[in-house]
Structure 1
Amino acid sequence: MNPKVDDRVPVLIVGGSLVGLSASLFLGRLGVRHLLVEKHADTSHHPRGRGNNVRTMELYRVAGIEAAIREAASVLAANHGILQAPSLTGAEQEWLFREIDPGGRLARFSPSAWCLCSQNDLEPVLLRAARELGGDVRFSTELVSFEQDAEGVTALLRSRETGEERTVRAQYLVAADGPRSPARERLGIGQSGKGELFHNVSITFRAKRLAEAVGDRHFIACYLTNPEADGALLPVDNHEEWVFHAPWHPEHGEPLEAFTDERCVRHIRAAVGIPDLEVEVTGKAPWHAAERVADRYSAGRVFLAGDSAHEMSPTGAFGSNTGIQDAHNLAWKLAAVLCGWAGPELLESYGRERQPVARVTGERASARSAEHSHPGYAVVPGVGRQAGVLAVALGYRYPAGAVVGTDPAGPVVPEQFGANGEPGSRAPHQWLLRAGVKLSTLDLYEQAMVLLTGPEGGAWLDGARRAADRLAVPLDAYRIGTGAEDDLAPEPGADFTELHGVRPDGAVLVRPDGFVAWRSEGAAADPESAVATALRAVLKI
């Protein structure tokens, strides 16, 4: 006998942290009705996961919330760099890096910039935006169980406040339920990787006089290397609110209860080098650094995203950014399938694209922890500082998946970052003018497939529109040039064709997530047929 169904939604999201809330935001932007359930009573109250890289901020820019995030993050807007020192008061100080974007060269590649916004400040922004778009977000609600069949997923939910249980029927389930993911366990999906790396206890505290010792060294984090009291110090408000990550060794039998307030105060005083510092401990939270990637990113109609799919060392905030970008990759594909302009097989490309990115990024995160001598983790000799960070954050590629014309054996992360419009790579940023309004090429990508062509590519416009109409695929087509009939004008000195790797009569097809799906370096004898063939291959129709 089939159970009574209380709610029906196209997508059920389990987990309401950064990744789940981002998935809700992205689906809402695409008009996909969904329900998100989170077992905790509210968004995070603990300051953590603060580094939002440039790619993540690009996604939030297109989603319309970049300005709100920067406002929420304004208290730490002047903080830059990672400092390493035996104490704050000694003469020995070393900047592992002073500026995340020295010389401002990132502006050549992106309309956005890196942003320091703690999870407890970012999640409310995401929640507000998701709900404004119609997202049904329910806290204090846990997933009890789920079953799936060929048509959808039936999930049993329980209110942690009242104990009431409800059955939800969804076409797809997105499990963003953390590193101990019950959904992944229920699916029997294993993991591979180095496993546990190290453990820390995150201590939030107040110390008014600490700002005097820090002075004008407004760092993102300071690694304090006193062998008797090492740890990482992070500012919350640059004034009196701070976080300290202390090494914890449960593998040696050390219990969490050993971190009493008194011990934490002694440790912080010794680490910063101020024996009489007044410290008020306001909270403690254990966390575990690991390097693991799920063996599969989906099973049937259930998809893993964020920490349920991959765990990474926190150094560099690669894990949260990778998870948010998982959600963005999956959202447009779910929307395309649910709206009928892509085949269900498109969803298989989610894991094919995102799993290799997680593997490479997880390796880089572990190396970065060693490079920075993160408390509790061993140093690996010969790791170059800042090596390939931009390539990891902005230059990763999809050698295989919903793309045409890639090298399946090509690297997921190149040695050096370069934006050249190759299929499988993030489409290059270029400033444009449309009716006198300045916008980035990246602002064009969200709701539909987009075809861009150069000043001599007029034939592509009509051909692409005919192909899209015939296949019932939403597609926007633009010609970039300085002529009166061109749709978009490049900024003076900018060359669309050079940046995108095509001739003036070539074309580039870009997916809604801003990744190049296909390109033609020059004209085609039959543009309509060429675009139709590419759309069929990419969208599995």
Structure 2
Amino acid sequence: MNPKVDDRVPVLITGGSLVGLSSALFLGRLGIRPLLVEKHSGTSHHPRGRGNNVRTMELYRVAGAEPGIRRAASVLAHNHGILQAETLSGTNQEWLFKEIDPGGSLARISPSSWCLCSQNDLEPVLLRCARDLGADLRFGTELMSFEQDGDGVTAVVRDRRTEECRTVRADYLVAADGPRSPVRERLGIGQSGPGDLFHNVSVTFRAKRLADVVGDRRFIACYVTGAEGEGTLLPVDNREHWVFHIPWHPDRGETLEDFTDERCVRHIRAAVGAPEMEVEVTGRAPWHAAERVADRYSAGRVFLVGDSAHEMSPTGAFGSNTGIQDAHNLAWKLAAVLEGWAGPGLLETYGEERQPVARATSARATARSAEHRHPGYDAPSGSGRQRNMMPVVLGYRYASGSVVGADRGTPTVPERFRVTAEPGSRAPHMWVHRDGERMSTLDLYENSPVLLSGPGGQAWHLAGRQVADRLAVPLDRYRVGDGLDLVPELGADWSEIHGTGEDGAVLVRPDGFVAWRSPGAAADPERMLTEVLEAVLHRAR
């Protein structure tokens, strides 16, 4: 006998931190109204997970959240670089790097830029945006159990305040429930990788005089190497609120109870080099750096995103950014299948694409921690210096059944980053004008596949309309050139940037990745586009 169902939703999300809220936002933008449950009573109060890379900010830009995030991040807008010092007030100091984007080169390849916004400031922005789009966000509510069948997932959720339990029927369940994911455990999905790397206790504190010691050094983080004060100092407001990560060694018998206020204050004073400085501890929380990736990203109608799918060393903030990008990859696929213009096989490409990215990125994050000699991390010998991290941030590639013509011999994360429109790569950014409005080509990619063609690509443009109508697939079509749908800014050559002739075409997925490219005209463009769309969207012929 089927249980009584209290709520019917297309997607149930468990976990309301950065990745869960981003999932709700991205789905909401696509017209899908999810239900999100989070066992905690509200968003994070602890300043952590602050680095949002340029790719993440591109996604938030398209989703309409970037302005609010920039406002929330304004207090740290001028903080850059990582400082390493024996003590903060001593002379033995060096910048590991001083600028995120020296020379402003990012502006040539992206309409967005890196953003330093702590999790406690970012999450409320995502919450408001998702709720405005119709997402049902229930904090203080816990997923108790779930069962799935061929048509959906039946879950029981409990309001932790009233103890009321409700039965939810969803087409799909998205697990954003953290590194110790109960959903992943329930599914019996294992993890692979080196495992634990190091442990820290994150201490929030007030110290009004610390700003005088820091002076005009507006760093993202300062790695303190002195034996008595080893750890990482992070500003919260550059004035009196700060965070210090103290190395924790449970393998030596240390417990959380050992980190008393007195010990934390003594440690922070030693790190600063100011034995009499007034320090008020306001909170503490343990965290663990690890390198693990789930062996599978889905089971039936249940999908893992964020820390439930992968754990990474914190250096570079790759874990949170990779999780947000997981959510974005999955959202358009869920929406396409739910709305009926893609086949269920499209969902299988989620893990096919994102798992290799996580494996490559987590290895780079660990190597970055070794390079920076992250406090508390006893890195193995032989860890070499890392190259430019742009290949990890913007250069990762997909070679899945949702890409036609991808070079499967190319590494997921290439050694060097270059702007390209090769199938499986992030579509290039260029400034164009549409109906007199200046916009990035990246702003076009969200709700549906997009077909771009050059000045000589009229046949592709017409074929796109015919194929979209016949397959009942939403397909936005634009011709690029002077006097056409999209007019490139002076000096920008669409054909050169996208690697086609003027009679070529590029198909871009809703997540902004190139699905297919034709360098020139085709004898039968309608037939070719039909075959491409059916393959990319896993439509049965």
**Quick check: TM above 0.5?**
yes
Rounded to whole Å, the distance in 1 between the matches of 2:193 and 2:220 is 28
State the SS of the aligned residue for 1:513. Answer: coil
Alignment of 1:455-470 (within 5 A): 455-470=455-470
Q: Give, in angstroms, the shift of residue 401 of structure 1.
A: 3.6
Any gaps of 5 or more consecutive residues in structure 1?
none
The residue type paired with residue 143 of structure 1 is L
For residues 240-272 of structure 1, the C-alpha deviation after alignment (integer angstroms, 9 at most, x for no partner) is 000000000112211110000000000000111
The residue type paired with residue 182 of structure 2 is P
State the SS of the aligned residue for 1:359. Answer: helix
Q: In the alignment, does 2:297 pair up with 1:297?
A: yes
State the SS of the aligned residue for 2:287. Answer: strand
Rounded to whole Å, the distance in 1 between the matches of 2:29 and 2:443 is 14
Q: In the alignment, does 2:380 pair up with 1:374?
A: no
Alignment match, 2:521: 523
For residues 79-136 of structure 1, the C-alpha deviation after alignment (integer angstroms, 9 at most, x for no partner) is 0000001011111111000000000001111000000000000000000000000000
Alignment match, 2:13: 13
Q: In the alignment, does 2:133 pair up with 1:116?
A: no
Q: In the alignment, does 2:510 pair up with 1:512?
A: yes
Rounded to whole Å, the distance in 2 between the matches of 1:170 and 1:334 is 12
Alignment match, 2:156: 156
Query: Is contact 2:87–2:229 with CA below 8 Å preserved after alignment?
Result: no
Rounded to whole Å, the distance in 1 between the matches of 2:192 and 2:352 is 16
Residues matched between the structures, number: 539
Alignment match, 2:329: 329
Taking structure 1 as the reference length, what is the TM-score of the superposition? 0.99
The residue type paired with residue 156 of structure 1 is V
For residues 451-500 of structure 1, the C-alpha deviation after alignment (integer angstroms, 9 at most, x for no partner) is 00111111110001111111111001111001x3x111001000101111
Rounded to whole Å, the distance in 1 between the matches of 2:216 and 2:399 is 45
Rounded to whole Å, the distance in 2 between the matches of 1:381 and 1:233 is 25
Query: Is contact 2:206–2:242 with CA below 8 Å preserved after alignment?
Result: yes
State the SS of the aligned residue for 1:200. Answer: strand
State the SS of the aligned residue for 1:172. Answer: strand
Alignment of 1:258-407 (within 5 A): 258-380=258-380, 383=383, 385=385, 387-407=387-407
Alignment match, 1:244: 244
Query: Is contact 2:367–2:384 with CA below 8 Å preserved after alignment?
Result: no
Alignment match, 2:83: 83
State the SS of the aligned residue for 1:319. Answer: helix
Alignment match, 1:492: 490
Rounded to whole Å, the distance in 2 between the matches of 1:499 and 1:200 is 45
Q: In the alignment, does 2:203 pair up with 1:203?
A: yes
Alignment match, 1:228: 228
Alignment of 1:37-186 (within 5 A): 37-186=37-186
Rounded to whole Å, the distance in 2 between the matches of 1:312 and 1:350 is 19
Identity over aligned residues, as a percent?
A: 75
Rounded to whole Å, the distance in 2 between the matches of 1:65 and 1:471 is 32
Instruction: List 4+ stretches of structure 1 deviating above 3 A.
Output: 379-386
State the SS of the aligned residue for 2:70. Answer: helix
The residue type paired with residue 160 of structure 1 is R
The residue type paired with residue 18 of structure 2 is L
The residue type paired with residue 516 of structure 2 is W
Query: Is contact 1:399–1:409 with CA below 8 Å preserved after alignment?
Result: no
Rounded to whole Å, the distance in 2 between the matches of 1:193 and 1:305 is 17
Query: Is contact 1:52–1:117 with CA below 8 Å preserved after alignment?
Result: yes
The residue type paired with residue 504 of structure 2 is G
* TM-aligned CA distance change 1:65 to 1:38, over 3 Å: same
The residue type paired with residue 330 of structure 1 is L
Alignment match, 1:443: 443
Query: Is contact 1:96–1:385 with CA below 8 Å preserved after alignment?
Result: no
Alpha-carbon RMSD: 0.9
Taking structure 2 as the reference length, what is the TM-score of the superposition? 0.99
For residues 53-73 of structure 1, the C-alpha deviation after alignment (integer angstroms, 9 at most, x for no partner) is 000000000001111100000
Rounded to whole Å, the distance in 1 between the matches of 2:367 and 2:398 is 22
State the SS of the aligned residue for 1:335. Answer: helix
Query: Is contact 1:433–1:490 with CA below 8 Å preserved after alignment?
Result: yes
The residue type paired with residue 518 of structure 2 is S
For residues 516-540 of structure 1, the C-alpha deviation after alignment (integer angstroms, 9 at most, x for no partner) is 0001010011111111110000000
The residue type paired with residue 462 of structure 2 is D
Query: Is contact 2:81–2:99 with CA below 8 Å preserved after alignment?
Result: yes
Q: Give, in angstroms, the shift of residue 174 of structure 1.
A: 0.2
The residue type paired with residue 97 of structure 2 is F
* TM-aligned CA distance change 1:385 to 1:234, over 3 Å: farther
Query: Is contact 2:454–2:479 with CA below 8 Å preserved after alignment?
Result: yes
Alignment match, 1:501: 499
Rounded to whole Å, the distance in 1 between the matches of 2:401 and 2:98 is 38
The residue type paired with residue 467 of structure 1 is V
Rounded to whole Å, the distance in 1 between the matches of 2:239 and 2:382 is 37
